Amino acid sequence: MDQLKEEEQQQQQQEQNFLEEETKQLKEYDTIPPTPLIALNHVSRLCKSVQASIDFYVKVLGFVLIHRPPTFDFDGAWLFNYGVGIHLIQKKDGGSLMDARPDKLDPLDNHVSFQCEDMEVMEKRLKETNIKYLKRTVGGEEEEEEEASPIDQLFFNDPDGFMIEICNCENLELVPAGSLGRIRLPRHHHNPPLHINGSQNQTQRQDQA
């Protein structure tokens, strides 16, 4: 009987210690300032066959093929719908597609991208938390082409070695390949400008509709 009571007391003490540690952790999290992230921009996927992946995402999931900026001269494709993009990249060599690379930052590797309102604030946060990152700007060489608008990017790994991107990719106008299709722009977050009916000057945002 005494042993059972002692075990109950030990369990209660463990639970109390856990609650105290959890409360301490939550208070610490409450002191962290908010970040300027606003939405998921796109998911990038290495694939063995770009065309096979296009067929799947278009035919099975209803995504729409989008013209890529001319700056991106590697084999790949962009898809968009439901407020999120999928960027397909042709894998150059064999082997598993699931290999994580904790010590390597390659913008052409698998990553999840988050839309950001303030890149400087986000870069400062990475420095403050001692996160190794890769910074680059692509596009913008030809000012007369809207799709050449510069894109700022920050790349870094999570603890498991899977890559994350922070970007201001909303600067790019979406240009559907062929017909407009059934692109859906949800209202719950900001969406990029949509190129409609072949007119570069006619764009539409869901929040203006």
Per residue in 78-135, pLDDT tens? 999 878 898 999 888 755 566 656 678 999 888 888 888 899 998 998 898 888 999 9
Task: Return the ∠ at Cα 187 (arms to 140 and 158), rounded to 5°.
Answer: 60
**Percent of the chain with pLDDT strictly greater than 90:** 18
123 is catalytic: no
pLDDT of residue 94: 55
Count the alpha carbons within 13 Å of 126 in the hemisphere toward its beta carbon: 21
pLDDT of residue 13: 86
* Residues 38 and 115 sit within 8 Å (Cβ to Cβ): yes
User: What is the DSSP pairing of strand 194-196 with strand 111-116?
Assistant: unpaired
The pLDDT of 165-172, averaged and rounded, is 83
Give the burial class of 154: count Cβ atoms within 10 A of its Cβ; 0-12 exposed, 13-18 middle, 19 or more buried.
Answer: buried
Task: Return the ∠ at Cα 175 (arms to 170 and 108), rounded to 5°.
Answer: 60
User: What is the DSSP pairing of strand 37-47 with strand 151-157?
Assistant: unpaired
Burial string for 72-99 (b: 16+ CB within 10 Å, else e) reads eeeebbbbbbebbbbbbbbbeeeeeeee
Check 117, 143, 165, 173 and give the catalytic one: 165
109 phi-psi bin (left φ>0, alpha ψ -120 to 50, beta other): beta
pLDDT of residue 91: 85
The pLDDT of 133-152, averaged and rounded, is 73
Amino acid at 12: Q
pLDDT confidence band for 164 (50 / 70 / 90):
confident
pLDDT confidence band for 185 (50 / 70 / 90):
low
The pLDDT of 30-36, averaged and rounded, is 79
pLDDT of residue 93: 77
Sequence-distant (≥ 6) Cβ neighbours of residue 1 within 8 angstroms = none
CATH of domain 37-208: 3.10.180.10
Q: What is the pTM of this model?
A: 0.58
Of 19 and 160, the structure prediction assigns the larger pLDDT to 19
